Amino acid sequence: MRNRRQRGAVFVVTLAVLTVLVAVVASAAVSEKVTIREEISRLEQRRAMVTAEAGIQRAAEVLADEGTTTTTNVNSNATLGSTANQAGATTLQDDWATLGNSGNDRFVLRNSSFRLQILDAAARININTAAQAQLQKLPLLPEQIDAILDWRSAGENARPDGAKDSYYNGLPNPYDASLQPFATVSELLDVRYFTPADLYDPPQNQTSTPLVNFPDGRTPTFAEIFTTDSSSQNVNQQGNNKQNLRNVNLNQLRRGQFASIAQQLFNARNNTTWAAVIRACPTMNTNQLRSLLNTYYVGNVNATGKINPNTASATVLQTIPNLTEDEAQSIVNQQSTGFTQLGDILNVPGMTNVRAAANFVDAFGIKSQNFIVRVIGTAGSTSVPLEAVVSVTPQNGTKTVKILRMERQPFSDMTGRWGWPSSTNNDVTLEAAF
């Protein structure tokens, strides 16, 4: 019996040792598998990020060519539309506007891909320049408006419902109010009364004029209609800087179409808004104003916060003070042909009156300088959504294209939030395209 028990003991001990060995090897294998998966995930994350950045570079390349077509040869290119790629206007017929087909195209870079969409920053409301009257046309609470105005303006005296350092310094996690223009739209999250839901979800406080839905039916969010980057250049139809009204010559005015208002115009030349110029020239007619807008500029040659009537949606246009819903819709209706010069705004039905124009003409700019690039880079099962702001600045006869900043988007479901299809099979293989 003892012999039999001894043989059994050897067998059991051997089995036990083998079991432990197998367990150790299995544990190492599982651990290694997890490590490999983590490494693959990390590499996919990096590849998706790099691919998204490639998408931004692709957008920058197209934007660099924006406005390279002169007015004379635009008309010979009928397939692009009458306002495509004009030097003096930024329109939805330009190449940048159609690049990526609003996220419907997938640009394939071997085993990675990106989808993209370029938007005109001047199609949005600039929260640094929007006047109180414009903010009041948005579904914002009065205290939110006060808090925005307090945040971006110097001084320590808060509005009745606003907030300055005296409030922010008393928070559980205190900080100072900016007291200067917003750097990014997400900075609103530092402003009293604003939460992520206020910024990224459709507005709940529809106490004032509700926002009109986007053309694709989506309800707008403030994150999608606000910007800090809209900038327009005061150029003529050929893309050259207009003349500053301040430098106008009285004799020159007397000889041309402004002869009947030459003295009025000359006296009003130092004003920095068209509204003031129009009010100072009571006998000015529509043709004269149109020509004035197309030839001269007031204020700065690069204007911040102007809205481009070629690219703005009805949602944004309806927030312009003194502009009615019908007028906003009329502007949208004309976007298919486009506004080639600022004076074209006076061709919109219902907007031809010179006196009425004083109420809205300062809100518009035709030639945009900053663009928002939305891109989603994908590698394997990993996607990285980015948004970049790209500026296009004429410099010494050429264009300087610069990425002003790049922001990773806060949500993983950005396709839905941007109104893109969740997936697409419209592949554009970039090797072939190059």
Residues near other proteins (CB under 8 A) are 3, 6, 10, 13-14, 17-18, 20-21, 24-25, 27-28, 31-32, 35, 38, 42, 46, 49, 53, 56, 171-173, 175-176, 178, 180-184, 186-197, 200, 386-388, 391, 400, 402-411
Q: Which is nearer to other proteins, 28 or 259 (CB)?
A: 28
Residue with tokens 């590698």: 379
Q: What are phi and psi of 353, to 5 degrees?
A: -75, 130
For residue 260, the minimal CB distance to other proteins (Å) is 41
For residue 22, the minimal CB distance to other proteins (Å) is 10
> Which token pair is 269?
């030349």
- Distance, CA of 303 to CA of 8 (rounded, Å): 93
- Coil, helix or strand at residue 63: helix
Cα radius of gyration rounded to whole Å, the chain: 29
For residue 17, the minimal CB distance to other proteins (Å) is 4
End-to-end CA distance of the chain: 84
Contact 92, 319 (CB under 8 A): no
Q: Which is nearer to other proteins, 232 or 288 (CB)?
A: 232
For residue 392, the minimal CB distance to other proteins (Å) is 13
Q: Which is nearer to other proteins, 9 or 133 (CB)?
A: 9
Residue 192 contacts by C-beta under 8 Å, 6 or more apart in sequence?
A: 143, 147, 162, 163, 167, 168
Q: Which is nearer to other proteins, 120 or 344 (CB)?
A: 120
For residue 124, the minimal CB distance to other proteins (Å) is 17
Q: Which is nearer to other proteins, 20 or 131 (CB)?
A: 20
DSSP character at residue 367: S
For residue 73, the minimal CB distance to other proteins (Å) is 29
Contact 230, 368 (CB under 8 A): yes
Contact 90, 83 (CB under 8 A): no
Q: Which is nearer to other proteins, 81 or 167 (CB)?
A: 167
For residue 301, the minimal CB distance to other proteins (Å) is 15
Q: Which is nearer to other proteins, 187 or 359 (CB)?
A: 187
Residue 232 contacts by C-beta under 8 Å, 6 or more apart in sequence?
A: 122, 302, 303, 306, 308, 365, 366, 367, 368, 369
DSSP character at residue 427: E
